[in-house]
Structure 1
Amino acid sequence: MTYTTQMDAARKGIITKEMELVSKKENIDVEVLKNLIAEGKVIIPANKNHKSLNPEGVGEGLRTKINVNLGISKDCCDIEKELEKVKTAIDMKAEAIMDLSSYGKTEEFRKRLIEMSPAMIGTVPVYDAVGFYDKELKDITAEEFLKVVKKHAEDGVDFVTIHAGINRYTAEVFKRNKRLTNIVSRGGSLIYAWMELNDKENPFYEHFDELLDICEEYDVTLSLGDACRPGSINDATDASQIQELLILGELTLRAWERNVQVMIEGPGHMTINEIAANVMLEKKLCHGAPFYVLGPIVTDVAPGYDHITSAIGGALAASYGVDFLCYVTPAEHLRLPSLEDMKEGIIATRIAAHAGDLGKNIKGAKEWDDAMSKARQALDWEKMFELAIDPEKARRYRKESLPAHKDSCTMCGKMCSMRNMNKVMSGKNINMLREDD
């Protein structure tokens, strides 16, 4: 029996090789996984032309995945430097990489990225349109926008961010409800500007069926972008954001009718107390589709530390049911991230994802923490390094400050609680002021 997409296969009762691999990774029964894919609650972004892909599942009951944004810009257009970041991101176990290139040889970078990456690859085709056609935004036609999506699909992109929810009605809601930071989504602002300049409907909304044709042909997952995501805590959960979410829910059902896999992108900036409600709204209004969020960034006043503000929000969001976290680096709002910025962003986001998995009782999550606790109790430093989310940093910190007694550290020395409890509970004496017996 043939199938077009992972969702089509699941609905026909077919277990694909991608489902089998994800089932083993997640320790989930493959029949359960297949049913979740059929319902749209789990996706496996896996373009038929991405030959190096090691597939991952995203959605209900699975580990929270993380995405790393990379790509060249007009001010920073060194392809080799970006590919170095790609290699590092893969080594650091990022499950997804989004190519956000917006200038120059985007096709060369994208093709090399797809060829080398076992991680799933995402793009925002509208970023590429201006450079692809060497035309001003206003002069690009709806047909040309779709051709760029088709090109990315042919190249092997696993998911595409499409800002189809900011239609003319959503735009009117935005105009009537003033914001501090207007539209901060880069892709969303480009679509809004195109609509205003041409006095026309959003081409991706108007030609949504043609977009689904492309996604169905290559099994490209549709990541429905949040053009109206809040760019400040003041703008969170406002009329524009919720109106767009309503449209995204309707588009989700239309995509599922064509067996096209969907995830929903979410905010953005918001205070801690709004995160749970936002997750509930997305899951309700978008029918349980996987939720992919940037942050949320929980305060606006920490440039240079937004990997922390994002990790706080991301951990909470994941614990409430978010499925996919987009990393945020210390360079957010300031510059294109350096290699070191990227590393810090990945680690912060992986911590947030794992903390969220503990909160929603994902199978296997607590076992990792329990193993670390046992290693700490046993003062097994090598095992601690092996289990650490960042083994390199853990090893470096210990090496930089070695204790007099190898079964302790330079914080506590012979007052180490682990050391002393081990001795006392095994019937031994504790010597604080002299050498051990």
Structure 2
Amino acid sequence: MNYKTQMEAAKKGMLTKEMKVVADKENISEEKLMKLIAEGRIVIPANINHKSLSPEGIGDGLRTKINVNLGISGDSVDYCREMEKVKMAIEFGAEAIMDLSNYGKTQEFREKLIEYSPAMIGTVPMYDAIGYLEKDLMDIKAKDFLDVVLAHAKAGVDFVTIHAGINKRTVSLFKEDKRRLNIVSRGGSLLFAWMEMTGNENPFYEYYDELLEILREYDVTISLGDAMRPGCLDDSTDAGQITELIELGLLTKRAWEKDVQVMIEGPGHMAMNEIAANMQIEKRLCHGAPFYVLGPLVTDIAPGYDHITSAIGGAIAATHGANFLCYVTPAEHLRLPDLSDVREGIIASKIAAHAADIANGIPGSRDRDNDMADARQKLDWEGMFKIAIDGKKAREYFESIPPEDQHSCSMCGKMCAVRTTNKILNGEVVQLKVES
């Protein structure tokens, strides 16, 4: 193999087996895909040690992908339940899973996850640092953080979130330009605390070149984290967010020089009227790198329903340039999500991604919708259940109040518009009166 990363191969005009798979999945020519990977506008996160991976592309002109967050926390240590979430995510077609474990046997869980999962695996090494290094935050040395990244890379993680843009310049502006909700990024807040307590520069920024060498060795895509993402509507598109985005754009170019694939992470909480502009700003400042967004959540007042506020924002974001949606569950801001929450979050995010693909004219994106329309026109309920994103739930609703006439549902019964029209067009008489 005469290349280290997918980007290096693309720059050299070499077609990898991962590129062939993605080109086939996306109905895109291999030549065009290779060109966009070489330019950094598409990434294929594919660690050389993730043997069970079914490669996916993320970027412009491809289907919008979704990510599912899960992992072990100190307040809820249940490895079996988290693996059930993994299986559910794969069943519903999530393209990526982020293991955010920060407690217990994180390495063992991660290794099992990578061995099992055909979906891309992402992590935030900063979350794992205290447990992996067995040190408190204050006692961790700058280069210790790189050891954690190396461990994740060796294990087979396909992409890592690294908050390298929260450097001393960003922090200085953050302090000067006050925020309503300060820093809400977990990894960002830990780095901010470490920097303030030690007086040192962000180690991921200071030793960025050494970090890139690790990622290049295993072809790990760097997902440049948004430590300054807005955590409420009032903080969106502020100086801290935009300043960090400028830094991420500079770091993107440095990564590309090393042939390391890059994604950029984005907001957060944001009013609907700001989303399109934010997508355009990211693409401009970060040179077209794929954009990975959390939400955005379009209102702050819906705890328990934030899978909906996120799906609204995600659909708008993906229509205007975002390429990768991180799911949000109904439990966001409230607790660790259970299996039901994960299911609701995945479905909401899949709906947002699919709706955006239709709006963006992605080839083949309307096919299932057309199939659903055909099944409805025939009143083919079994066909509808097979086509539906969540056919199990659709069936449960249909069967919960059985219709008298199996060719309609209990909402309209014999007054079903499709049934009525079909009968007339077939030359049949429509009879609505109930015989006594």
Fold match by TM threshold 0.5 = yes
Structure 1 position 27 matched with structure 2 position 38: no
In the TM superposition, 1:100-179 aligns within 5 A as 100-179=100-179
Could you tell me whether the CA contact under 8 Å between 1:321 and 1:360 is conserved in 2?
no
Q: Structure 2: which amino acid aligns with 1:417? A: A
What's 1:233 paired with?
233
Task: Tell me the secondary structure at the aligned position of residue 142 of structure 1.
Answer: coil
What's 2:98 paired with?
98
Q: Deviations over 1:167-224 (max 9, x none)?
A: 0000001001111110000000001111100111100001000010011100000000
How far apart, in 2, do the equivalents of 1:188 and 1:218 lie? 25
Is the deviation greater in 83-92 or in 58-67? 83-92
How far apart, in 1, do the equivalents of 2:401 and 2:26 lie? 38
Cα offset, 1:309, TM superposition: 0.5
Cα offset, 1:399, TM superposition: 1.4
Q: Deviations over 1:265-306 (max 9, x none)?
A: 000001100100110000110000000000000000000000
Is the deviation greater in 142-151 or in 421-430? 421-430
Structure 1 position 66 matched with structure 2 position 63: no
Cα offset, 1:369, TM superposition: 0.9
How far apart, in 1, do the equivalents of 2:188 and 2:325 lie? 19
How far apart, in 1, do the equivalents of 2:194 and 2:6 lie? 33
In the TM superposition, 1:72-83 aligns within 5 A as 72-83=72-83
What's 2:85 paired with?
85
In the TM superposition, 1:166-315 aligns within 5 A as 166-315=166-315
Cα offset, 1:387, TM superposition: 0.6
What's 1:405 paired with?
405
Task: Tell me the secondary structure at the aligned position of residue 293 of structure 2.
Answer: strand
Could you tell me whether the CA contact under 8 Å between 1:45 and 1:158 is conserved in 2?
yes
How far apart, in 2, do the equivalents of 1:260 and 1:335 lie? 35
Cα offset, 1:81, TM superposition: 1.5
Task: Tell me the secondary structure at the aligned position of residue 251 of structure 2.
Answer: helix
Task: Tell me the secondary structure at the aligned position of residue 362 of structure 1.
Answer: coil
How far apart, in 2, do the equivalents of 1:320 and 1:373 lie? 27
Could you tell me whether the CA contact under 8 Å between 1:265 and 1:291 is conserved in 2?
yes
Aligned-residue Cα RMSD (Å) equals: 0.8
What's 2:55 paired with?
55
Task: Tell me the secondary structure at the aligned position of residue 94 of structure 1.
Answer: coil
How far apart, in 2, do the equivalents of 1:165 and 1:359 lie? 32
Task: Tell me the secondary structure at the aligned position of residue 421 of structure 1.
Answer: helix
Q: Deviations over 1:223-243 (max 9, x none)?
A: 000000000000000000000
How far apart, in 1, do the equivalents of 2:91 and 2:366 lie? 23
How far apart, in 2, do the equivalents of 1:157 and 1:49 lie? 8
Q: How many residues align?
A: 435
How far apart, in 1, do the equivalents of 2:257 and 2:300 lie? 40
Task: Tell me the secondary structure at the aligned position of residue 365 of structure 1.
Answer: coil
Q: Structure 2: which amino acid aligns with 1:125? A: P
Q: If the length of structure 2 is used for normalisation, what is the TM-score?
A: 0.99
How far apart, in 2, do the equivalents of 1:35 and 1:118 lie? 25
Q: Deviations over 1:154-178 (max 9, x none)?
A: 0000000000000000000100111
Runs (4+) of structure 1 moved beyond 6 Å? Answer: none
Cα offset, 1:111, TM superposition: 0.6
Cα offset, 1:311, TM superposition: 0.5
Q: Structure 2: which amino acid aligns with 1:95? A: E
Cα offset, 1:427, TM superposition: 2.0
Cα offset, 1:434, TM superposition: 4.7
Q: Deviations over 1:359-392 (max 9, x none)?
A: 1111111121111111111111111111101010
How far apart, in 2, do the equivalents of 1:391 and 1:16 lie? 36
Task: Tell me the secondary structure at the aligned position of residue 395 of structure 1.
Answer: helix
Cα offset, 1:88, TM superposition: 1.4
Cα offset, 1:98, TM superposition: 0.2
Task: Tell me the secondary structure at the aligned position of residue 366 of structure 2.
Answer: helix
How far apart, in 2, do the equivalents of 1:42 and 1:333 lie? 32
How far apart, in 1, do the equivalents of 2:356 and 2:321 lie? 8
Q: Structure 2: which amino acid aligns with 1:99? A: D
Cα offset, 1:426, TM superposition: 2.0
Could you tell me whether the CA contact under 8 Å between 1:292 and 1:322 is conserved in 2?
yes
Q: Structure 2: which amino acid aligns with 1:217? A: E
How far apart, in 1, do the equivalents of 2:103 and 2:388 lie? 38
Is the deviation greater in 356-365 or in 221-230? 356-365
Cα offset, 1:104, TM superposition: 1.3
Q: Structure 2: which amino acid aligns with 1:56? A: E
How far apart, in 2, do the equivalents of 1:162 and 1:240 lie? 17
How far apart, in 1, do the equivalents of 2:419 and 2:82 lie? 46
How far apart, in 1, do the equivalents of 2:379 and 2:339 lie? 33
How far apart, in 2, do the equivalents of 1:196 and 1:370 lie? 56
